[in-house]
Structure 1
Amino acid sequence: MTATTVTESAANRSYRVVLRRNPRLACLLLGDLLANAGTGMLIVAMPVQTLAVHGAVDPALAIGLVEAAPFLLSTVLALTLSLGRLAVPPRRLLLADCVLRAVSFTALGVLAVTGRLTLPVLVGVLLLGSTFRLAGSSGRRLLATTLVDDADRFAVNGLLGLGGSLSLYVLGPVAGGLLAAWAGAGWALFADVCGALVLLAAVLRCTPRTVAAAAAGGERASGWRILRRRPVAGRLLVVVFFFNFLYMPVEVALPLYVRDSLHGDASALGWLWTALGAGALVGAALVDRLRHLPQRPLLVTVIALWAACPIALACVGTQPAAMVVFAVGGLIWAPFTPLAYSFVQSGLAPDEQQPVVTLWTTGSTLASPLGLLAGGPLVSWTGTTASLVVSGGLTALLAPLAAWGVLARDQR
Structure 2
Amino acid sequence: MTDASPVNRSYREVLRDRRVAGLLVGDLLAHVGTGMIIVAMPVQTLAIHGSMPKAIAVGLVEAAPFVLSTMLALAIGLGRVRVPPRTLLVADCVLRSATFAVLGWLSLAGRLTLPVLIGGLLIGATFRVAGSSSRRLLATSMAGESGRFAVNGLLGVNQTFALYIVGPVVGGLIVATTSAGVALLADAAGALILLVAVVLTVPRSAGDDGGRSRAAGVESGWRILRRRPVAARLLVVVFFFDFFYMPIAVALPLYVGDPLGGDASSLGLLWGALGVGAFVGATLVDRLRNLPQRHLLIAIIGLWALCPIALALVDDLTVAMIVFGLGGLVWAPFTPVAYSFLQSGVAAHEQQQVVTLWTTGTMLAAPLGLAAGGPLIEAAGTAGGLVISGVLTLLLLPVAALAVLRR
Equivalent residues in 2 for 1:9-408, closer than 5 Å: 9-20=5-16, 22-214=17-209, 218=214, 219-408=217-406
Task: String of CA shifts for 1:327-347, please: whole Å, max 9, x gaps.
Answer: 000001000000000011012
Q: Deviations over 1:220-271 (max 9, x none)?
A: 2110111111011000000000000000000000000001111100000000
How far is 1:186 from its partner?
Answer: 1.3
Q: What is the letter of the counterpart of residue 133 of structure 2?
A: S
**Equivalent residue for 2:2?**
5
CA offset at residue 86 of structure 1?
Answer: 4.0
| Distance (Å, rounded) in 2 between the aligned partners of 1:404 and 1:197 | 44
SS in structure 1 of the partner of residue 218 of structure 2: coil
Distance in 1 between residues matched to 2:264 and 2:98, nearest whole Å? 26
**8 A Cα contact 2:3 2:294, kept in partner:** no
How far 1:211 sits from its partner (Å)? 2.4
Hey, what's the Cα distance between the residues in 1 that align with 2:400 and 2:162? 29
**1:129-176 CA distance string (max 9 Å, x none):** 000000000000000011022111011100000111000000100000
TM-score (norm 2): 0.98
Q: Hey, what's the Cα distance between the residues in 2 that align with 1:224 and 1:278?
A: 36
C-alpha distance in 2 between matches for 1:115 and 1:292: 54
CA shift for structure 1 position 298: 0.2
Paired with 2:226 and 2:259, the residues of 1 have a C-alpha distance of 46
In structure 2, relative to structure 1, the CA distance for the partners of 1:167 and 1:223 (3 Å cut) is same
C-alpha distance in structure 2 between counterparts of 1:220 and 1:388, whole Å: 42
TM-superposed CA distance for 1:213, in Å, is: 3.3
Letter of the 1:303 counterpart: I
For 2:100 and 2:237, locate their aligned partners in 1 and report how far apart those are by CA, in whole Å: 33
The 2-side partners of 1:79 and 1:367 are apart by 13
Distance 1:386 1:348 in 2: 41
Deviations for 1:76-130, whole angstroms, at most 9, x for unmatched residues? 0000111125421000000000000011111100110111111011000100000
Supply the distance in 2 between the matched residues of 1:153 and 1:215 (Cα, whole angstroms). Answer: 19
Counterparts of 1:210 and 1:390, CA distance in 2: 46
Distance 2:295 2:40 in 1: 37
Paired residues, what number? 404
Letter of the structure 1 residue corresponding to residue 132 of structure 2? S
Deviation for aligned residue 1:408:
1.0
Secondary structure of residue in 1 paired with 2:143? coil
The offset of 1:212, in angstroms, is: 4.0
Preserved CA contact (<8 Å) 2:208 2:349: no
Quick check: 1:215–1:354 contact (8 Å CA) kept in 2?
A: no
- Preserved contact between residue 42 and residue 176 of structure 1 (Cα < 8 Å): yes
Q: Following the alignment from structure 2 to structure 1, what is the Cα–Cα distance between the partners of residues 235 and 206? A: 28
Aligned equivalents of 1:342, 1:59: Cα separation in 2 = 39
2:188 is paired with a residue whose SS is helix
Amino acid aligned to 2:287: R
- Is the Cα contact below 8 Å between 1:302 and 1:332 reproduced in 2? yes
Superposition CA RMSD, Å = 1.0
Question: Is the Cα–Cα contact under 8 Å of residues 75 and 81 in structure 2 kept in the other structure?
Answer: no
1:256-288 alpha-carbon deviations (Å, 9 max, x no partner): 000111110000000000000000000000101
Structure 1 Cα separation of the partners of residues 237 and 67 of structure 2: 21
Amino acid at match of 2:2: T
- Offset, 1:215: 7.4
Between 1:124-133 and 1:145-154, the stretch displaced more is: 145-154
Q: CA 1:196/1:15 → structure 2, altered by over 3 Å: closer, same or farther?
A: same
- Using the size of structure 1 for normalisation, the TM-score is 0.97
1:200 is aligned with what amino acid?
L
SS of corresponding position for 1:354: helix
8 Å Cα contact 1:146/1:214 also seen in 2: no
Contact in 2 for aligned 1:146/1:215 (Cα 8 Å):
no
Between the aligned partners of 1:325 and 1:258, the Cα distance in structure 2 is 14
Deviation beyond 3 Å, 4+ runs, structure 1? 212-217
Give the Cα separation in 1 of the matches to 2:318 and 2:206.
Answer: 47
CA distance in 2, matches of 1:86, 1:53: 38
